[in-house]
Amino acid sequence: MAKKKSKNTELSTYENVVNELAISDRDNFKVPMSKVFGAGSLAKTESFGGRSLAENTAMVDQALANTAELQNIWNRSHSQWDWKHLNLHYHGDFKNVRQISAEINRKKSALNEAKWKHVKSEVEVQKIQEQLLNDDLDHWEKIELQIDLAEKQEGLADGAVYIEGAMKDILALNEIYEEYQNKFDGFTEEDFELEESKSHLKRSLVQCIRDVRQSGSITKGEQEYLEQIGVNPSKMQMRIREYVQDEATADTWDASLLHEFVNNVTDELIDNLQVDKVKMDLMGFKHEHNPELTHKPEVARKLENKTDE
């Protein structure tokens, strides 16, 4: 009799979970917290607010259900605004496209991992369901399999939210990529190589401007970056100080002056003065890249042009 009483009281939590397996909608499967923490020997445990653990857990279930809809909005890494204003903030177009590629690959890897995890979970669910059909299972083996099944089914349901989040990010990045396709209408890896001096100088210029705004001088790290590109840091510091003074007294509140300054200085130093080529000559390197080590076909073609081909 003592053994039977122990079984009825101690297994109440497991039996509650087992009962939840009767539902057929596996996509929305969820074992409520109250079926575990608010059941069995824990049910009457004194908890906060002058309530029992069972009462508090039931309130938590209600709170989680009430806020679950929010995950449909905040289930991804960044908003579309974040992608465009923060993550793709390079002044060089090729750097932004490169960032899109890197972000897409990260999301692709996450989705691939989730994909195979989902496949394995589906297989495990089917395997456990078939094992449960075995009439030779003893009571404890059956309970353990039912718990495993509950965990797998709940994981499948929860995983869908994060899978959708990664999908949103990929679709948002693809939309931005298509906007760049309209801007470029095709480029090759060779085009990317040819633009590298300008891309790096633009990045360095923006960072140097921030240094001068803050302290009046270009920091040691940015001086080195300029030198690596082939620019005289002292002369650049004087030029930027003049710009910062003009920027402070300008009537405009937008960033158009910054973009204009960065583009003009970059064109002057790279196209006209060819400071990057001079640097390579001093180092004894060829300034030109090796076209045989680049991908030849164009990417980022306009969609209508891809169709025409």
- Across all residues in the chain, what is the average pLDDT? 82
- Confidence label for 113 from pLDDT (cuts 50, 70 and 90): confident
pLDDT in tens, 120-141: 888 888 899 899 899 898 888 9
Give the predicted TM-score (pTM) of the model.
Answer: 0.69
pLDDT at 167 over 80: yes
pLDDT in tens, 9-64: 444 455 555 555 544 455 566 677 777 666 666 667 777 888 887 888 788 888 87
pLDDT in tens, 203-253: 999 999 999 999 999 999 999 999 999 999 999 999 999 999 999 999 999
Q: Among residues 277, 274, 92, 302, which one has the least CA distance to residue 187?
A: 302
Pair 154, 29: CB distance under 8 Å: yes
Q: Among residues 220, 250, 251, 246, which one has the least CA distance to residue 233?
A: 220
Give the lowest-confidence range in 159-168, 230-239, 279-288. Answer: 159-168
Q: Decide: residue 180, CB within 10 A, 0-12 exposed, 13-18 middle, 19+ buried.
A: middle
